[in-house]
């Protein structure tokens, strides 16, 4: 069993592409081994820094197992003529297989065949052939060529390749770079062209040359040293995303503490944080109460800053950035947000969907419609309306010009500063939410309203213009918009129907498509985010999908009642009822008729009827009160009576009238109790 070590040495790979690249590398490698039948018993791990993707595999077979191979040739009557002499075809096969024609056997299917012993090849030879492809097939979101137009493509130029099988170089070449047994240390702290013997030597050499190969180790070093730097009573503001980024921007990270003038703390924390974390990739520092402090942690790709030069450099850059931000704030205050509404005439939302001025007007109108549909109080509706007018005005500010990621937030801050109502300011601030899966929905009702309306207008517009997402292409992030609306409706407990939303969306004759799009996002939310089982989601949506909040409550109820003993057996019986009715001409046919109680047989049938009648009122009022768990528990209590019915009663009675009445009765049971969920969709077991 052999050890294989591969290091792809590149110029700096974008930090966010590194982990997916490692996954592809491992997958491609294992697939190639499997193809070559060398995969059994192999364990494989990957590591990476900005300059290297590394794979190490243990337990690689030294060579392939020898195999018997059967080569089939032409039929006997084609390989030989009538006189039994070999034809051209026969001789050809003999030549191809390198066996005398006289030695070739004929199989039971009357075709010629040759059995050959194929000797397994050494793993080193095979790896040398397949590794270039393993490397070149690593998927990156954007690739380049660097030797010539016809050359290989990769994320950044490949500058060295290390490939060792048990310490021996596996020869291959990519873009003029030949694999060898050399690695490179840290750009400034390590040596170049370091000879490597194998995996354990490699690790040793890297650590001596200031490369921490493990991303986890780099992150730990950042966290540990940063915590040591922070003065007592203060702490590093947690930011895992930034930590991950910095781990992949460095090979030997060293945190450096810096500070800035307290006067900048007068700027909004959102702006300070954005400058530090997004633009400069610094950690913010806070006190025990979470209050921002005039300090930061920068992370250098170096071993230290003995004379404080790096610290001073970062401080100067930050000061310039904060000065800019303060300048933007002051300039922006010279014109109120409210006075910028007309400027939105000059800001295009999308060539086919008009300007932001037009969008704002449509959004305000949708806010009004939804506000009425939800019968919200006047003041909330007014805050929301005002917020809808102002929401996009920050697009014309210097601050958003410089920090586009703060759109919405800046508008909210300015609105508050300019004495708009706090509810209005919050609604402007929050109206892009939720953006990411971890984002909260807007905190207030007015914000929720504006957030829904803004997204709904976007969806309606793009759907009407026939620019819906297809496959993985969703350039306008419409899935995110629809998903955001679903989340706000459910998490904000707004009982608004999808039909109503589509009606006011402006999607026009594409409303049907938009409706399906919403239901699809609703399914995604319930299944993939909330984790409900797919059949539960199907059952509930089949019963009705119109009000997402209601769908979510019903799904939750199903998942709670499902483990109780009566539930799944009852679902099985409902499925049976549905099948019987389908075969007899369809549920609807019978559901339209009424049951004649006089025709019901005494015993199981009459008992079930009585049970159903006594439950009907109860279930209906529980449903009215959104007491879905209680309603479902009540329905599940029908199980003994249903079981008894199927044990004792023959549905397809000989008497046509009785049979018809029975089917009608069953159709009523089914439809009556399938409005919370269509039990027939539940897959038991």
Partner 1 sequence: MQTYQDIILKLKSFWAEQGAIIQEPLDIEVGAGTMCPETFLRVLGPKPYRTVYVQPSRRPADGRYGQNPNRLYKHMQLQVILKPSPNDIIEQYMRSLEAIGIDLRRHDFKLEEDNWEAPTLGAWGIGWQVMLDGLEISQFTYFQQCGGIDLEVVPVELTYGLERLTAFLQNVDSVFDIQWNETWTYRDVRFLDEQQYSVYNFEKADVEAVRNEFEIHEAESARLITEYSGLEDPKEQARFPLLPAYDQVLKCSHLFNTLDARGAISVAERAAMIQRVRKLAVAVAGAWMTQQEVVG
By the criterion CB under 8 A, which residues form the site for partner 1?
Answer: 11-12, 14-15, 50, 142, 144-149, 156-157, 159, 187-189, 249-250, 256, 280, 282, 298, 300-302, 305-307, 309-310, 312-314, 316-320, 323-324, 327, 346-348, 351, 355
Q: What is the CA radius of gyration of the chain?
A: 35
DSSP classification of residue 68: E
Min CB(350)–partner 1 separation in Å: 11
Give the separation between CA 284 and CA 286, rounded to whole angstroms. Answer: 7
Q: Are strands 177-180 and 158-165 parallel, antiparallel or unpaired?
A: parallel
Indicate the angle between helix axes 422-430 and 445-464, nearest 10 degrees.
Answer: 40
How many Cβ atoms are within 10 Å of 588's Cβ, its own excluded?
10
Cβ proximity to partner 1: between 18 and 501 the closer is: 18
Could you tell me the two tokens for 177?
């770079």
CB of 179 to partner 1, least distance (A): 16
DSSP string, 215-227: HHHHHHHHHHHHH
Q: CB of residue 342 vs partner 1: minimum separation in angstroms? A: 14
Nearer to partner 1, 349 or 679 (CB): 349
Q: Which is nearer to partner 1, 95 or 153 (CB)?
A: 153
Q: How far is CA 301 from CA 50, 140, 186, 318, 346, in A?
A: 11, 24, 9, 18, 44
| Smaller CB separation from partner 1, 143 or 204 | 143
Tokens of 132: 């270039």
**Least distance to partner 1 from the beta carbon of 458, Å?**
18
What is the closest distance, in whole angstroms, from the C-beta atom of residue 31 to partner 1 in the complex? 28
492-to-371, 391, 489 alpha-carbon distances in Å: 14, 20, 5
Task: Please give the backbone phi and psi of residue 22, each rounded to the nearest 5 degrees, phi first.
Answer: -60, -40
Shortest distance (Å) from residue 320 CB to partner 1: 6
d(CA 280, CA 451): 30
Query: What does the alpha-carbon distance between residue 495 and residue 489 come to, in Å, rounded to a whole number?
Result: 7
Q: Which lies closer to partner 1 via its Cβ, residue 261 or residue 655? A: 261
Check if the beta carbon of residue 505 is closer than 8 Å to that of residue 459: yes
**Local structure of residue 680 (DSSP, 8 states):** G
Smallest gap from residue 149 Cβ to partner 1 (A): 5
Q: Which is nearer to partner 1, 282 or 483 (CB)?
A: 282
Instruction: Yes or no: say if 672 and 639 are a contact pair by the CB < 8 Å rule.
Output: no
Which of these, 612, 620, 619, lies nearest to 641 by C-alpha position?
Answer: 612
Question: Which residue, 23 or 345, is less far from partner 1 as judged by CB?
Answer: 345
Scanning the structure block, which residue is given the tokens 């004495």? 419
- Integer Cα distance of 253 and 18 in angstroms: 17
Q: How far is the CB of 190 from partner 1 (least distance, A)?
A: 12
For partner 1, which is the closer residue by CB, 156 or 589? Answer: 156
Nearer to partner 1, 278 or 644 (CB): 278
Please, what is the minimum distance in Å from the beta carbon of residue 175 to partner 1?
A: 10
């Amino acid at each position: 069993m052999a050890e294989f070590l591969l290091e792809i040495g590149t110029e700096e790979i974008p930090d966010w592409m590194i982990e997916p690249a490692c996954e592809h590398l491992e997958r491609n490698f294992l697939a190639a081994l499997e193809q070559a039948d060398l995969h059994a018993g192999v364990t494989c791990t990957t590591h990476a820094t900005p300059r290297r993707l590394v794979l190490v595999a243990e337990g690689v077979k030294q060579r392939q197992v020898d195999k018997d191979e059967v080569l089939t040739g032409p039929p006997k009557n084609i390989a030989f003529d009538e006189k039994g002499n070999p034809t051209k075809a026969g001789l050809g096969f003999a030549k191809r297989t390198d066996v005398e024609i006289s030695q070739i056997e004929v199989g039971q299917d009357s075709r010629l065949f040759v059995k050959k012993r194929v000797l397994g090849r050494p793993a080193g030879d095979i790896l040398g052939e397949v590794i270039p492809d393993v490397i070149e097939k690593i998927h990156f979101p954007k690739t380049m060529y660097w030797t010539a137009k016809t050359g290989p493509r990769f994320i950044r130029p490949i500058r060295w390749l290390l490939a060792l099988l048990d310490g021996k170089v596996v020869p291959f070449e990519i873009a003029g770079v030949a694999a060898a047994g050399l690695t490179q240390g840290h750009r400034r702290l390590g040596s170049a062209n370091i000879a490597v013997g194998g995996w354990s030597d490699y690790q040793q050499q890297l650590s001596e040359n200031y490369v921490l190969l493990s991303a986890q180790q780099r992150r730990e070093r950042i966290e540990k040293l940063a915590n040591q730097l922070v003065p007592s009573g203060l702490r590093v503001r947690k930011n895992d995303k930034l930590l991950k980024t910095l781990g992949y921007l460095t090979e030997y990270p060293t945190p450096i503490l810096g500070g800035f003038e307290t006067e900048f703390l007068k700027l909004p924390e959102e702006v300070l944080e954005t400058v530090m974390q997004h633009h400069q990739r610094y950690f913010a520092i806070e006190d025990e109460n979470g209050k921002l402090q005039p300090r930061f942690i920068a992370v250098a790709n170096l071993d230290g800053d003995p004379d404080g030069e790096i610290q001073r450099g970062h401080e100067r850059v930050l000061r310039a950035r904060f000065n800019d931000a303060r300048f933007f704030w002051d300039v922006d205050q010279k014109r109120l947000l409210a006075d910028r509404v007309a400027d939105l005439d000059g800001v295009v939302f999308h060539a086919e969907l008009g300007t932001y001025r037009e969008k704002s007007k449509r959004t305000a109108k949708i806010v009004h419609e939804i506000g009425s549909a939800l019968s919200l109080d006047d003041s909330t509706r007014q805050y929301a309306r005002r917020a809808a007018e102002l929401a996009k005005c920050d697009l014309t500010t210097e601050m958003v010009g410089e920090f586009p990621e703060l759109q919405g937030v800046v508008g909210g801050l300015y609105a508050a500063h300019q004495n708009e109502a706090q509810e209005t300011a919050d609604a402007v601030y929050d109206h892009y939410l939720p953006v990411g899966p971890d984002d909260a929905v807007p905190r207030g009702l007015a914000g929720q309203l504006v957030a829904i309306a803004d997204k709904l207008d976007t969806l309606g517009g793009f759907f009407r213009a026939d620019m819906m997402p297809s496959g993985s292409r969703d350039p306008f992030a419409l899935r995110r918009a629809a998903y955001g609306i679903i989340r706000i409706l459910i998490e904000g407990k707004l009982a608004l129907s999808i039909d109503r939303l589509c009606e006011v969306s402006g999607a026009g004759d594409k409303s049907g498509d938009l409706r399906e799009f919403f239901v699809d996002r609703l399914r995604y939310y319930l299944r993939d985010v909330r984790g409900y089982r797919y059949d539960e989601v199907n059952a509930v949506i089949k019963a009705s999908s119109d009000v997402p909040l209601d769908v979510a409550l019903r799904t939750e109820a199903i998942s709670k009642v499902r483990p109780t003993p009566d539930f799944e057996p009852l679902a099985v019986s409902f499925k049976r009822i549905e099948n019987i009715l389908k075969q007899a001409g369809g549920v609807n046919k019978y559901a339209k008729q009424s049951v004649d109680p006089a025709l019901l047989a005494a015993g199981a049938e009459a008992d079930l009827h009585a049970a159903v009648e006594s439950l009907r009122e109860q279930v209906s009022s529980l449903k009215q009160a959104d007491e879905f768990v209680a309603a479902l528990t009540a329905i599940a209590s029908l199980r003994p009576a249903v079981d008894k019915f199927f044990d004792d009663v023959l549905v397809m009675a000989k008497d046509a009238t009785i049979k018809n009445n029975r089917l009608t009765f069953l159709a009523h049971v089914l439809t009556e109790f399938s409005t919370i969920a269509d039990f027939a969709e539940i897959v038991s077991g």
